[in-house]
Each structure stands twice: as C-alpha cells, then as structure tokens.
Chain A
C-alpha cells in the first residue's frame, strides 16, 4: 500500500476496494454449509433407510444429533468471532440462522405428531427463506439460487409421499447446501492464495 498522500480519485478507489474486501471476507463462510449439508444428508438418508426397514417409529432418532451439531457450530462461530472480526452483515446472518435453527428444532421435536407429512415441507420452506434472504443480503448468486431451489422444493415436497420425503430432503441437502458450500470454500481458498 502507498504511504505518500494521494489524490481524491485514489481515495475513492481505496475506499471502494476496502469495502469489496469487507464483503469478500464474509463469503468465506462455506464451512457451515458443508457441515449442515453433510449432517442433514446423512440424517435424512438414515431415516429413509429406517423407514424402508419398517422401523418408522425410530426413524427420527438420527436427528437427535442436530442439537449437538448446532451447539458445535454456535461454539465454533463464537470462538471465530472473538478471535477475528464482526460486522453488521455477519451479525444479521448469525441471528437469522439462529432464529431459523431454533424454530426448526421446535417444530421437528415438538410438533411432528401434529404436522405429520407436512413437517419436511415446512422445514424446507424455512431453510429456503433463510437461504434466499442470506443470499440476497450478501449478494451471493449461488446462495440465492440455492434458496430458490429450497423454496420451490418445499412446495414440491407437499406432493411427495411421506415415505420418500426424507430421501428428497437428503438430495436437497447435497444440492443446496453441501455442493454450494464446497464451491464457496474452494472460491475462498483460491482468493487467499
């Protein structure tokens, strides 16, 4: 970086480049998508397998790992925040996913007997809205696109028989969370080289 005084044009260029850097720093967060994509996919496929083994009554057991993963992510993000940086976008992002996560846990563990086959579509709807909002807010095309896929898939899920809904959710976790997460991670690694 230059150390001598500079022109107003250079000033504007510098401010612009720093704001772009600030935005890019937030796009590095591919880790949470990879983790949640993998966890949701594993839980969903295990549930699907248990349903096909006629063990529907215990098929929700794999999801008991979710609160543990959520606690790990919460601990990890707090640790990262303490040691590095925080900005309004990151705070909004964190609060949005915290609220959505808590609501998903409540409806999944507390209201599944009432919601029955509407549970998976409802979870997909919440995930879709949160992903779409996140993508629009940080101007990430890949996230917005994934949010749109999840949002539309939620309506499709209402039409799918309940026995196949978990397989559908597993596939969506890979398509809309895991793969974009890997893309974001690779992109950030490339930027930092």
Chain B
C-alpha cells in the first residue's frame, strides 16, 4: 500500500524500537520493553528481524549475575530511519 515506506520499519513495534534508539546510543532490553510496552517474546522477535537486516546490533553480557542485552542502532539503521521519515512526508 505504501510502496516507498520500508516494510521493516513500517510496523508499530519495530518503528518504536528504532525511533527510541535514534535518541539513545545504547539501550537495554529491559528499557525497550518498558518504552514499547511489548511482551518479551514479541520484542525479541522484532529485535531479531532488525538485527538480521543489520539495522541494529545486540550485545549480550552479564551485569551483577543477570543477563544483560544492550541494543545499538547501526549506521544502516540510522540511514533507513532517516529515509523512512523522508518518504513518510510524501504521504502527509
């Protein structure tokens, strides 16, 4: 329907993730879950899709004996978001 809009970003949860990451250099999974109000399962799936497209990078480590996943937007992800916003303006 919206041909110019990147289908990977034109989905509410994935767009919310990328929008938040545009203003933050590094974000934990926990914070993303709070911001997007998504379930852990759904969030993991969407993050995986964005990671596969090389829009973001996930780093897994441990913090005080708890697993810690931190997410960073890649240059490709930033360019894709900027391009998405430019194309979005054509429909408004």
Contact = CB atoms under 8 A, between A and B. Distances in A.
Interface in B12-57: 12-13, 15-16, 19-20, 23-28, 30-31, 35-38, 42
Interface string B53-92: 0000000000110001000000000000000010010011
A36 to B, nearest CB: 25
Contact of A86 (B2, B26, B63, B91): B26
Interface string A1-34: 1111110111110110011011001000000000
A3 B19 CA distance: 16
Contacts of B25: 86-88, 91
B12 A14 contact: yes
Nearest to A21: B35
B83 to A, nearest CB: 13
Given A22-B24, A83-B63, A8 B13 contact: no
Interface in A78-105: 82-89, 91
Contact of B28 (A12, A18, A85, A88): A85
Nearest to A192: B34
Interface string A24-51: 0100000000000000000000000000
Contacts of A85: 24, 26-28, 31
The B contact surface, by secondary structure, is mixed
The A contact surface, by secondary structure, is helix
Interface string A101-137: 0000000000000000000000000000000000000
B38 A1 contact: yes
A3 B10 CA distance: 10
A136 to B, nearest CB: 18
Interface of A: 1-6, 8-12, 14-15, 18-19, 21-22, 25, 82-89, 91
15 contacts: A1-B12, A1-B36, A2-B12, A6-B12, A8-B91, A9-B92, A11-B15, A12-B88, A14-B12, A15-B15, A19-B23, A25-B35, A84-B27, A84-B28, A85-B24
